């Protein structure tokens, strides 16, 4: 997929303009802020002091061609908070109908240095509705080491590269509790992470793109969330359709390193394509008691393989606890998987290296390196002949179902 914001050079010499600019602490109730000018924020908060807004109405029109300045630094956003302010928004509505017009933007001031410390800028937003329609227009946006704390929001985006929960260069910390988040655009997963993102008790819906996307050395944790994904169209370099996408683009927007995805409880429904897809990074995936449903006919649970990006290996560590897994796991010949089942987990499926992408091109014909650990209270039911590199566990916990398991080239003797 093409990444939101796209690659670009670092530029901290930004000229900010706000139709309304707050340079000192302030408390306001039921105020209206609006802008129709290019590269101007409807509301610009640039202070170290605290700001509190109740029931604001914030609207933004006027498209920008600022590209990275909009995605990295908050130019043209409906509302931008920077300078170290702790800004609280309760209630109200934020809308943008323009290109490069993110909804509520928290910029931490680190100049886009991945892993760099932010200046303390924090957006605390509760019970607010956010609607964006243009390309490059996320809902809540966090970059440069900023912090966003969101609770019970209703966020809907329709443009390309417009994740409802969006981050970009310089990262930050995002915490979301409750609410509903819906994306309708191409290249617009519900969550795009170049930061540390935790979402709890929320409803997440993607109607065209991936459900979530993690780039490089960053993380997403979902706690008791209900996610539905309909990835109907590929974007950019992507050669697969998938619900959970973990990769590294080497655009400079995310450092290389372990990518973490954790899901505790809740549900994940996938309409089309692979449930999980890992490419060009080292992904660590942890599932604990998640209800998984894959409606795609091929029923691919996980693919670890080459895609449209190069420069790193394709590796995944997939750990399932209190989990029911169903489907085929695909591991390309140049890829690696460590699969661990524990705490009564079950796996009904096979592992294969015969991989064809979404446009019909062969990616791999042989299985890469696969290490499987099966806990004492776990079971694996084969749905096809499977070739793996190593196996730890009791062979009696494998149900062959008429198929064979080969470990390091030798057929494993399994007594049923």
Q: Looking at the domain assignment, is residue 196 inside a domain?
A: no
Q: Looking at the domain assignment, is residue 362 inside a domain?
A: yes
Domain boundary among 151, 176, 201: 176
Same domain, 215 and 153: no
Same domain, 162 and 48: yes
**Least reliable range by pLDDT among 95-109, 133-147, 237-251, 294-308:** 237-251
Same domain, 120 and 253: no
What local confidence, expressed as pLDDT, does residue 12 receive? 55
What local confidence, expressed as pLDDT, does residue 117 receive? 85
Read off the tokens for 236. 């950019």
Residue 397 φ then ψ, to 5° = -90, 5
Sort strands 104-107 and 79-82 into parallel, antiparallel or unpaired: parallel
CB 296 within 8 A of CB 269: no
Mean pLDDT for the chain overall: 93
What local confidence, expressed as pLDDT, does residue 9 receive? 38
Average pLDDT over residues 56-61: 99
Q: Looking at the domain assignment, is residue 197 inside a domain?
A: no
Same domain, 44 and 151: yes
Q: Looking at the domain assignment, is residue 200 inside a domain?
A: no
Residue 70 pLDDT > 50: yes
Percentage of the chain exceeding pLDDT 70: 93
Residue 139 pLDDT > 80: yes
Same domain, 83 and 154: yes
Same domain, 138 and 268: no
**Res. 298 pLDDT band, cuts 50 70 90:** very high
Domain boundary among 176, 198, 229: 176
Read off the tokens for 122. 């924090």
CB atoms within 10 A of CB 129: 16
Same domain, 172 and 232: no
What local confidence, expressed as pLDDT, does residue 152 receive? 99
**Res. 249 pLDDT band, cuts 50 70 90:** low
Average pLDDT over residues 212-236: 94
Read off the tokens for 386. 């499977």
Residue 254 pLDDT > 80: no
CB 399 within 8 A of CB 379: yes
Same domain, 159 and 69: yes
Range of the domain at 72: 16-176
Residue 2 pLDDT > 90: no
pLDDT digits (tens, 9 = 90+) for 308-354: 656 667 999 999 999 999 999 999 999 999 999 999 999 999 999 99
**Res. 358 pLDDT band, cuts 50 70 90:** confident
Q: Looking at the domain assignment, is residue 345 inside a domain?
A: yes
Residue 179 pLDDT > 60: yes
CB 366 within 8 A of CB 333: yes
What local confidence, expressed as pLDDT, does residue 3 receive? 42
CB 152 within 8 A of CB 181: no
- Give the closest residue to 126 by CA, choosing from 55, 202, 45: 55
Read off the tokens for 370. 């696969």
What local confidence, expressed as pLDDT, does residue 190 receive? 98
**Least reliable range by pLDDT among 225-239, 282-296, 332-346, 370-384:** 225-239
Average pLDDT over residues 15-42: 98
Residue 206 pLDDT > 80: yes
Average pLDDT over residues 17-21: 98
Domain boundary among 133, 153, 176: 176
Q: Looking at the domain assignment, is residue 1 inside a domain?
A: no
Cα 45 from chain centre = 28
Instruction: Tell me how many domains the chain contains.
Output: 2
Q: Which residues pair with 193 in a beta bridge?
A: 214
Same domain, 253 and 392: yes
What local confidence, expressed as pLDDT, does residue 308 receive? 66
């Amino acid at each position: 997929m093409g990444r939101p914001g796209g690659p670009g050079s670092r530029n901290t010499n930004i000229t900010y303009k706000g139709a309304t600019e707050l340079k000192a602490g302030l408390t306001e109730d039921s105020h209206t802020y609006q802008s129709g000018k290019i590269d101007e924020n409807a509301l610009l908060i640039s202070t170290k002091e605290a700001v509190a807004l109740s029931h604001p109405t914030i609207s933004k029109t006027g498209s920008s061609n600022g590209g990275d300045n909009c995605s990295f630094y908050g130019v043209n956003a409906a509302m931008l908070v920077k300078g170290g302010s702790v800004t609280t928004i309760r209630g109200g509505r934020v809308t943008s109908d323009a290109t490069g017009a993110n909804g509520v933007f928290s910029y931490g001031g680190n100049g886009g240095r991945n892993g760099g410390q932010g200046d303390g800028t924090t957006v605390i937003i509760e019970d607010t509705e956010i609607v964006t329609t243009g390309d490059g227009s996320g809902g809540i946006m966090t970059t440069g080491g900023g912090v966003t704390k969101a609770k019970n929001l209703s966020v809907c985006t329709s443009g390309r590269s417009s994740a409802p929960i969006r981050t970009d260069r310089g990262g930050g910390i995002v915490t979301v509790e409750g609410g509903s988040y819906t994306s309708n655009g191409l290249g617009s997963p519900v969550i795009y992470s170049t930061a540390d993102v935790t979402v709890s008790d929320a409803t997440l819906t993607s109607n065209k793109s991936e459900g979530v996307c993690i780039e490089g050395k960053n993380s997403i944790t979902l706690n008791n969330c209900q996610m539905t994904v309909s990835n109907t169209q590929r974007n950019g370099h992507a050669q697969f359709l998938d619900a959970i996408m973990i990769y590294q683009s080497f655009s400079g927007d995310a450092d290389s390193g372990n990518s973490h995805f954790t899901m505790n409880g809740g549900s994940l429904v996938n309409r089309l394509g692979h449930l999980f897809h890992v490419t060009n990074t080292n992904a660590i995936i942890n599932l604990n008691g998640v209800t998984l449903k894959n409606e795609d006919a091929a029923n691919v649970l996980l693919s670890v393989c080459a895609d449209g990006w190069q420069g790193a290996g394709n590796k995944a560590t997939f750990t399932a606890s209190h989990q029911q897994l169903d489907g085929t796991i695909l591991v390309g010949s140049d890829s690696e998987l460590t699969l661990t089942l524990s705490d009564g987990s079950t796996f009904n499926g096979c592992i294969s290296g015969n991989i064809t992408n979404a446009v019909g091109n062969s990616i791999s014909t042989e299985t890469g390196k696969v290490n499987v650990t099966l806990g004492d209270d776990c079971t694996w039911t084969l749905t096809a002949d499977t070739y793996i590199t190593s196996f730890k566990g009791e062979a009696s916990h494998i149900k062959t179902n008429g198929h064979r398991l080969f470990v390091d080239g030798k057929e494993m003797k399994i007594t049923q």
